[in-house]
Every structure is written in structure tokens, then in C-alpha cells.
Amino acid sequence: KRLATAGGPNADVYQVLAYATALGLAESLLIYAAGETDMINHTVRNAGVTIYVRPLHLAGSEVAILHEIHELADLIRAMARRQVRRAA
């Protein structure tokens, strides 16, 4: 998704916060094409939710792109493990 403003993905952050809150999740993830935003973590006070924003570099080689996708998958697996531990 291309961002309409350089100020950041505020609307997307609010949307993913709403999803996380509705589903009882403590963490969520937004992925953008590299160059649209930087890697950042938003911790929403009073909601107990951390939103990870990650860029994906699409201009690299197929191997480099797949490497980044695997890193994102590792992050998603770690988030899922933490969620399971919280629910137990």
C-alpha cells in the first residue's frame, strides 16, 4: 500500500489497533513497501497493544525479497507464540 502522506500511516495504525482490540491481541503488524515508512513500533498506552510497522524492500533480488519475507514470518511466529502464552 502506498501512503497518501509522508506523515505516517495514522489511519492504518488506528485500523489495526481496532482489529487487535476486538480480537484481544497484544501485538499487531503492518507491512509497507520500503520507502513508504520506516521500521517503527507503536505502543498504544491504555490499550496494551504494540503495533509493529515494517518495510518490505521490493526492489532487491528475489533471494533478498524472500529473505525479508522469512524475517517477517519469524516475527509473526514470535507474536503468535507470545499471544498463546498470554492466553494460557
* Res. 78: pLDDT tops 90: yes
Higher per-residue pLDDT: 11 or 72: 72
- What is the Cα–Cα distance from 10 to 24, expressed in whole angstroms? 21
* Res. 88: pLDDT tops 90: no
Provide the whole-model pTM.
Answer: 0.83
Percent of the chain with pLDDT over 70: 90
* Res. 16: pLDDT tops 60: yes
DSSP assignment of the chain equals: ---S-TT--HHHHHHHHHHHHHHT-SEEEEEEETTS---EEEEETTTTEEEEEEEE--SS-HHHHHHHHHHHHHHHHHHHHHHHHHH-
What is the overall mean pLDDT for the chain? 88
